[in-house]
């Protein structure tokens, strides 16, 4: 039998009020609270906080506070990652971000979801779907990436876009919902 945490990470319906998950969300909130209160001169302390929060980090990265997430351990970033101010990553399921990905300010990445069925939703059960972002992607400020989306390599996401479906490699997308505007070199 799966634990509520295992169900959550697998994208199945789970009880978010489970004691283990409540504790882990509280831990992430404490770390992000501490991170968001750091001074620009406290780079080593910021690095320690980010590395204690995220699931995996490949190489150099940059992350500007404030930053918010639910668990942290489901976020995996590649080398050369940069996230600007005020990003929100709801990571009930894994978020895998490739190399040299640039995330603009106010970007929101949501793996969290709720059932479409009214009765199931009323029960309080939740679910999620993993998100994958390829290499060399630029996500413009204020964009929203919805649960279950895969974004290919060398994609530019226009500012304010809402990404609701998978995106192939080598394109510029924009709009709500985001659509392919043109290929990129």
Q: What is the pLDDT of residues 6-44, one digit of tens each?
A: 999 999 999 999 999 999 999 999 999 999 999 999 999
pLDDT value for 185: 85
Contacts of residue 44, defined as CB under 8 A and 6 or more positions apart, other chains included, come to: none
Mean pLDDT across the chain, nearest whole number?
Answer: 97
Sign of CA dihedral 170, 96, 145, 52: negative
Decide if 23 is catalytic: no
The share of the chain scoring above pLDDT 70, in percent, equals 100
Domains in the chain with CATH codes: 4-183 (2.160.10.10)
Residue entry with tokens 């750091």: 38
Name the active-site residue from 33, 44, 76, 114: 114
Tell how strand 102-103 and strand 138-139 pair up: parallel
- Residue of 140, 111, 87 lying closest to 16 (CA atoms): 111
Q: How far apart are CA 94 and CA 83, in angstroms?
A: 17
Does residue 141 contact residue 156 with C-beta atoms inside 8 Å? no
């Amino acid at each position: 039998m799966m634990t509520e945490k295992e169900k959550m990470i697998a994208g199945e319906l789970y009880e978010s009020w489970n004691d283990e998950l409540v504790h882990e969300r509280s831990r992430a909130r404490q770390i992000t609270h501490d991170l968001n209160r750091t001074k620009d001169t406290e780079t080593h302390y910021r690095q320690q906080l980010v590395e204690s929060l995220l699931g995996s980090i490949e190489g150099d990265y940059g992350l500007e506070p404030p930053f918010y997430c639910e668990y942290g351990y489901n976020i995996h970033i590649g080398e050369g990652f940069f996230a600007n101010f005020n990003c929100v990553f709801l990571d009930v399921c894994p978020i895998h971000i490739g190399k040299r990905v640039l995330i603009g300010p106010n970007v929101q990445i949501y793996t969290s979801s709720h059932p479409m069925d009214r009765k199931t939703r009323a029960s309080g059960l939740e679910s999620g779907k993993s998100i994958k972002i390829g290499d060399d992607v630029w996500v413009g400020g204020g964009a929203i990436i919805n649960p279950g989306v895969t974004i290919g390599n060398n994609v530019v996401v226009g500012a304010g876009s809402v990404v609701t479906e998978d995106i192939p490699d080598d394109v510029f997308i924009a709009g709500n919902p985001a659509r392919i505007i043109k290929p990129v070199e």
